[in-house]
Amino acid sequence: MISVGIIGGSGYTGKKLVQFCNSHPFVAELKVYGNSTAGQNLYDLFPEFNNIVNNSIINSIDNLSEHDVYFIALPHGEALKIVPQLINKGKKVIDLGGDYRLDSKDEYELWYGKKHTSPELLNSKIYGLADYQRLDYSTTDLIANPGCYPTATILSLLPFVDSFVDDILTVSTVAYSGTSGAGKSPKQELLMSEMHGNVSAYSLNKHRHQPEILQMLRTFEFDSPFSFSTHLLPIAVGIYATTSIHLKNIISENEIIGKYKSFYSNSPFVRIREVPPQLNWVVDTNFCDINISVKDKVLIITSAIDNLIKGASGQAIQNMNILFGWDETLSLLNNGVKNVSVY
Ligand SMILES: NC(=O)c1ccc[n+]([C@@H]2O[C@H](COP(=O)([O-])OP(=O)(O)OC[C@H]3O[C@@H](n4cnc5c(N)ncnc54)[C@H](OP(=O)(O)O)[C@@H]3O)[C@@H](O)[C@H]2O)c1
C-alpha cells in the first residue's frame, strides 16, 4: 500500500487524480495540495466528493508531507520548483505538465519561454506514453506524463512510423480540443458567449505540443515534413486528431491495420476501430480509439481521447501502476468514473 500526494489536486486534472486514487486498491493515503485554495475544504470546491473522498482538507504546496509518489498537476514552470527536491529525496514523481517532457533544455526554453533549472532530469526522466509497451520504468523515479494532443497524435502514428517510416512523404495532423484543455482559470476567449456555436484554430505553427510529438517520432527516424494545427471546439472535454499521410508507395489498408493490432496487442487502452471514432466513445474513459483509412497513396488516421483522462490523469494513474509493477488497468476500469462526471 502507498501514500500519494496530489499537488494541484484542486485543478481539473488534479480532480480526476483524486477520483482515481480514491478508488485505487493500493492507495492507502491520499493528500491534496493546492495553491490559492490551500486551507479550504475539498467538498466546498467539489461537492460531488462528499461521502466519497475521506481526507477533505486542501493542504498548502509549501508544506508537503512525506508520500511514496507525487502527482504534479501544476501550470508549467511550477513543477521546476518542486520536482528536483522530491527526486533528491528518492520519491517517485509523475508530472502532468510540460516541464520535463522535452529532452532538450534549449527546446524547452524556446517553446516554453522559461529557463530550465534542472536540465539533468530531462535525461533521466521517462516520457511516459503508457501504451507504448517498450518503455522500461525501472531506470527512473521521474515520469513526464505526455500532453493531451501528443497522446492522441502519437498513439495514432507510432505503429505506422514504426513499420513504414521510409514510405512517408508528408504528415499533417489537424486536432481539436474541448475547453477543459486550458485548465480552470477564467479566460475571456473561453466564455460560453464566445465559444457557443463557434470554432477557431489557435497557436498555429507555435503549439508547444508540436516539438513533443516530433521528439517521439524522431526516435523512429522520422524526418518528413510535419504540420500540426490545433482548434478549439465548443465542448468541455475531448481531443480529436485527424492525421493525413501522403505515401511514396501504395500500402494496403489490411497490412497497416494488421501492424496496428499487433503493435497494441498488449495495450488494454488502445482500441482499433473499423469506423472513425466518436468522442462520445472515449469521454470519461482512459481509452484511445483509432481508425485507419487508406485510398491510393493517402492514409487518414483518426483518433479520439478524453483530454483529462487518457490525455492526463488516467494515463498518469496507468503510469503509476506500471511504475509499481501493478496491473496497469487498476482503478481505470470499472471504477465508477461515470459516477462522478466532472472536469
Ligand atoms: N487540462 C488538460 O486537459 C491537461 C491535459 C494534459 C496535461 N495538462 C497539464 O496538467 C497541468 C494542470 O492542468 P489543469 O488543466 O489541471 O490546470 P488547472 O485546472 O488550471 O489547475 C491548476 C492547479 O495548479 C494550481 N496552481 C495554479 N497556479 C499555481 C501557481 N502559480 N503555483 C502553484 N500552483 C498553482 C492550482 O491551485 P489552486 O486551485 O489552489 O489555485 C490548481 O490546483 C498543466 O501543466 C497542464 O498543462 C492538462
- 321 and 221 together in one domain: no
C-alpha cell at 16: 480526476
pLDDT band at 278; cut points 50, 70, 90: very high
- Answer whether 74 contacts ligand 1 (Cβ < 6 A): yes
User: Residue 339 has what pLDDT?
Assistant: 37
- Residue 133 clears pLDDT 90, i.e. is over it: no
288 belongs to the catalytic site: no
**Gap from CA of 75 to ligand 1 centroid (Å):** 5
Q: Whose Cα sits closest to atom 33 in ligand 1?
A: 35
H helices of the chain, in order, are 12-22, 42-45, 83-88, 105-112, 120-124, 148-164, 192-195, 209-218, 253-263, 279-282, 314-323
- 157 and 299 together in one domain: yes
Q: Whose Cα sits closest to atom 47 in ligand 1?
A: 97
Q: What residues contact residue 191 under an 8 Å CB cut-off, 6+ apart?
A: none
User: Residue 250 has what pLDDT?
Assistant: 96
Domain extent for 268? 149-305
Q: Which residue has the higher pLDDT, 133 or 64?
A: 64
Say how far apart CA 54 and CA 47 lie, in whole Å. 13
- Taking residues 45-52, what's their average pLDDT? 94
| One-letter identity of residue 176 | Y
Q: What residues contact residue 337 under an 8 Å CB cut-off, 6+ apart?
A: 19, 20, 284, 285, 309
- The CATH number covering residue 159 comes to 3.30.360.10
User: Residue 341 has what pLDDT?
Assistant: 41
- Residue 86 clears pLDDT 70, i.e. is over it: yes
- 153 and 134 together in one domain: no
Say how far apart CA 93 and CA 87 lie, in whole Å. 7
- Residue 331 clears pLDDT 80, i.e. is over it: yes
- Taking residues 70-78, what's their average pLDDT? 97
CA angle 219, 297, 153 (to 5 degrees): 40
H helices of 241-313, in order, are 253-263, 279-282
pLDDT band at 149; cut points 50, 70, 90: very high
- 301 and 325 together in one domain: no
The Cβ of residue 178 has, within 10 Å, a number of other Cβ atoms equal to 23
Q: How far does the chain reach from its first CA to its final CA, in angstroms? A: 27
Active-site residue among 148, 251, 294, 340? 148
Residues written for the chain? 343
**Gap from CA of 342 to ligand 1 centroid (Å):** 15
- Taking residues 10-16, what's their average pLDDT? 97
Q: Which of the listed residues 6, 7, 13 should we mutate to test ligand 1's pocket, taking the one with most ligand atoms within 8 A of CB?
A: 13
Q: Which of the listed residues 58, 74, 233 should we mutate to test ligand 1's pocket, taking the one with most ligand atoms within 8 A of CB?
A: 74
Which of 75-84, 257-266, 330-339 is predicted with the least confidence, judged by mean pLDDT? 330-339
- Taking residues 186-194, what's their average pLDDT? 94
Say how far apart CA 35 and CA 62 lie, in whole Å. 9
- 141 and 154 together in one domain: no
Q: Which residue has the cell 501492424?
A: 259
User: Residue 174 has what pLDDT?
Assistant: 98
Domain count of the fold of the chain:
2
Q: Express each pLDDT in 207-222 by its tens digit.
A: 999 999 999 999 999 9
**Gap from CA of 184 to ligand 1 centroid (Å):** 7
**Strands 288-295 vs 270-273: parallel, antiparallel or unpaired:** parallel
- Answer whether 8 contacts ligand 1 (Cβ < 6 A): yes
- On whether the CB atoms of residues 160 and 240 are closer than 8 A, the answer is no
- Taking residues 48-66, what's their average pLDDT? 92
- 124 and 177 together in one domain: no
- The CATH number covering residue 125 comes to 3.40.50.720
- Taking residues 242-270, what's their average pLDDT? 97
- Hey, what long-range contacts does 263-266 have (CB within 8 A, 24 or more apart)? 263/158, 263/159, 263/162, 264/131, 264/159, 266/133
- 14 and 71 together in one domain: yes
- 295 and 155 together in one domain: yes
- 107 and 141 together in one domain: yes
Q: Which residue has the higher pLDDT, 133 or 294?
A: 294
Nearest atom (ligand 1) to Cα of 35? 40
H helices of 28-74, in order, are 42-45
- Answer whether 14 contacts ligand 1 (Cβ < 6 A): yes
**Gap from CA of 279 to ligand 1 centroid (Å):** 23
Question: Residues of the chain with pLDDT > 70: what percent?
Answer: 97
Phi, psi of 196 (to 5 degrees): -60, 125
Which of 173-187, 260-274, 329-343 is predicted with the least confidence, judged by mean pLDDT? 329-343
- 135 and 229 together in one domain: no
Q: Which residue has the higher pLDDT, 334 or 115?
A: 115
- 166 and 284 together in one domain: yes
- 161 and 255 together in one domain: yes
- Answer whether 35 contacts ligand 1 (Cβ < 6 A): yes
pLDDT band at 241; cut points 50, 70, 90: very high
- On whether the CB atoms of residues 33 and 7 are closer than 8 A, the answer is yes
**Mean pLDDT in the chain?**
95
User: Residue 342 has what pLDDT?
Assistant: 39
Nearest atom (ligand 1) to Cα of 307? 3
- Answer whether 181 contacts ligand 1 (Cβ < 6 A): yes
- Residue 343 clears pLDDT 70, i.e. is over it: no
Nearest atom (ligand 1) to Cα of 308? 3
Nearest atom (ligand 1) to Cα of 151? 6
- Residue 95 clears pLDDT 50, i.e. is over it: yes
Whether the full predicted model's pTM is greater than 0.85, yes or no, is: yes
Q: Whose Cα sits closest to atom 3 in ligand 1?
A: 181
User: Residue 336 has what pLDDT?
Assistant: 43
